Structure 1
Amino acid sequence: MLLGLDPRLSPDLLHALASMGHGDSIALVDANYPAAAQATRLICARGFGLIDALQAVQSLLPLESASMPNAERPIHQKIQQCCKISVAPLPDSEFYSAVRGCFAIVATGAPELYGNVVLTKAAIGS
């Protein structure tokens, strides 16, 4: 057991976050998203909703940018409120292309439609 880590961060997710470099992206997607078909690295977090996963990931990942689908849904307001930076809405085609280019996809159990976000890792410097 490790101290100080959010218990929602699984070993697979911790490994992915630690392996990412500056500019790499990770997608957190809802239960409806075809994550298994599109992921290079699939991390299952079906026991958590999107906001839980977002909070856990942000506890360790420095963010350079974030994006979500351009849809007016209540989940998007929650994503904006939860994110430590501004989240850019992208048209569907651009968002889905961004997800396909991610280092990893985290499949949550979120039932909300369009409950998806892409986070890009920032550089850590002195």
Structure 2
Amino acid sequence: MLNGIDARVTPDLMDCMMRMGHGDELVVADANFPSTNHAASTLFGQVIELPGFSASEAISLITNLLPLDPFVDACALRMEIDDEPETLGEVHREAFEIIEAAMPEGAATGSIERQDFYVRASQAFGVVATTEARPFGCFILRKGVIF
């Protein structure tokens, strides 16, 4: 146990976030996402398991420690719903509420088509697997700097 660190932060999650630098990306994946497959090609190299966490719970845990990047078009991206790119599902609205509360001034959120999300996820620093059951409950968070 460490003072000031939420006890639900796993050693792997802490290790990954500590190793990330400005501009590195962390995927928060739902239960349907092929997390282990994509995690194998990331710099961290293995999936970070957060069983029992929804996407929004994982994002809340992560953004309490990880600063978001205001110097890009979007500090956080959501996976778009197939054939409905403008539609925000409940999982998106819930997660973006948490993200918007955590992001610095000037930062923004965005979206990415599902197949493009898969490509980008394979190039991320790491992948966090949740047990989020709502479809399209996948996000990419971009690490910023501490001001």
State the match for 2:112 in structure 1. Answer: 90
Structure 1 residue 90: Cα displacement = 1.1
Indicate the RMSD between aligned Cα atoms, in angstroms.
1.3
State the match for 2:84 in structure 1. Answer: none
Question: C-alpha separation between the residues in 1 aligned to 2:23 and 2:10?
Answer: 22
Kindly provide the amino acid, as one letter, of the partner of residue 3 in structure 1: N
Return the TM-score normalized by structure 2: 0.80
State the match for 1:62 in structure 2. Answer: 67
In structure 1, runs of 5+ residues without a counterpart are none
In structure 2, runs of 5+ residues without a counterpart are 40-44, 70-74, 82-86
Structure 1 residue 8: Cα displacement = 2.1
State the match for 2:50 in structure 1. Answer: 45
Structure 1 residue 70: Cα displacement = 1.7
Question: C-alpha separation between the residues in 2 aligned to 1:80 and 1:48?
Answer: 16
Question: C-alpha separation between the residues in 2 aligned to 1:20 and 1:60?
Answer: 12
Question: C-alpha separation between the residues in 1 aligned to 2:67 and 2:46?
Answer: 20
Structure 1 residue 49: Cα displacement = 1.2
Question: C-alpha separation between the residues in 1 aligned to 2:46 and 2:66?
Answer: 17
Say which SS state the counterpart of residue 28 (structure 1) adopts: strand
The runs of at least 4 consecutive aligned structure 1 residues that moved more than 4 Å come to none
1:68-107 matched pairs, under 5 angstroms: 68-71=78-81, 72=87, 73-83=89-99, 84-85=102-103, 86-107=108-129
Contact 1:69 1:90 in 2 (8 A): yes
Say which SS state the counterpart of residue 9 (structure 1) adopts: coil
Structure 1 residue 124: Cα displacement = 3.0
State the match for 1:29 in structure 2. Answer: 29
